Structure 1
């Protein structure tokens, strides 16, 4: 490399992380179930933030539990909202602390889904899996070498073009 090096300050991704999480949640239903008929998840909303210098994803989703009760001829669906905060481990591209001006972006690789549902006399236990990614963009410096050689394209500046050439 020559001694003709320039520093360019720009925004770039300075850290990334991905997390597959499996969590177990307990729900109290209005009626004791005889059987769990199904469970599905909807309305997943999330955002990323840096709190106390730790990247986090904060989100919510609704859990719909379909179950039979009484004489098994009657069934009900109950909806419960879940709020979560996931601390994210990230790989840093450079050794620096996160700053207030950094931009944090979250992405959902795998939507929350129900892995299992069971019940006992007290409540329903649901195991849910999701996979999230976080990217942190911040100001960083890149170094480039500047060459002072003449380019081949510079030769075309001296050529005169005849505008009547195609007539």
Structure 2
């Protein structure tokens, strides 16, 4: 008959995932004639657990290269954007302890899907998307069976010098210059 032990260990006790699409309105100093390019850089974020959700707070910069003055000049406008994503968690272990450690991974960095000039012609509307995967680590209890016999006798790990002398070392190649 086997004995059992309860072991407290850290494990992933909950997971969540969220894909977000957002629209940002940027007001450039000149009336845009056309959009020449748009990119998102300098993404930073932090995550924390709140109740049965994880909140991811972050920022990134949107850079839009555009032409103005009837396509005779170009400029780049930069705007820093803040966001908050609330990610629902699916728990595997409701009986966990100290589940405040959060691991947030970016599945898809924020990127620009589309940048267009607004209908009134004074603003630029940028569609961006991002995706996060979060894991919550907590202490949990596992139960393991313990073999009742002393296993030390089953392990024969003793080597004597004679066995080492019998080893064939010819297969080891020598590097040149040694």
Q: TM-score, normalised by structure 2?
A: 0.81
Tell me if 1:127 matches 2:127. Answer: yes
Counterpart in 1 of 2:27? 28
Runs of 4+ deviating beyond 3 Å: 96-99, 159-167
* CA 41–98 in structure 1, closer or farther in 2 if over 3 Å, else same: farther
8 Å CA contact retained: 1:15, 1:90: yes
**Alpha-carbon separation, structure 1, partners of 2:158 and 2:67:** 87
Counterpart in 2 of 1:149? 149
* CA 33–98 in structure 1, closer or farther in 2 if over 3 Å, else same: farther
- Cα distance, 1:95 vs. partner? 1.7
Comparing 49-58 with 19-28, greater Cα deviation is found at 49-58
Matches within 5 A, 1:10-159: 10-96=9-95, 99=98, 102-120=100-118, 121=120, 122-151=122-151, 154-155=153-154
Q: TM-score, normalised by structure 1?
A: 0.85
* CA 112–33 in structure 1, closer or farther in 2 if over 3 Å, else same: same
What is the count of residue pairs matched by the alignment? 163
- Cα distance, 1:149 vs. partner? 2.9
What SS does the corresponding residue of 1:102 show, helix, strand or coil?
Answer: strand
CA offset digits 1:98-149 (Å, max 9, x no partner): 84x6211111111111111112224211110111111110111111011113
Q: What is the Cα-based RMSD across aligned positions, in Å?
A: 2.5
**Alpha-carbon separation, structure 2, partners of 1:130 and 1:96:** 32
Structure 2: segments with no counterpart, 5+ residues: 167-178
Structure 1: segments with no counterpart, 5+ residues: none
**Alpha-carbon separation, structure 2, partners of 1:96 and 1:49:** 20
What SS does the corresponding residue of 1:88 show, helix, strand or coil?
Answer: strand
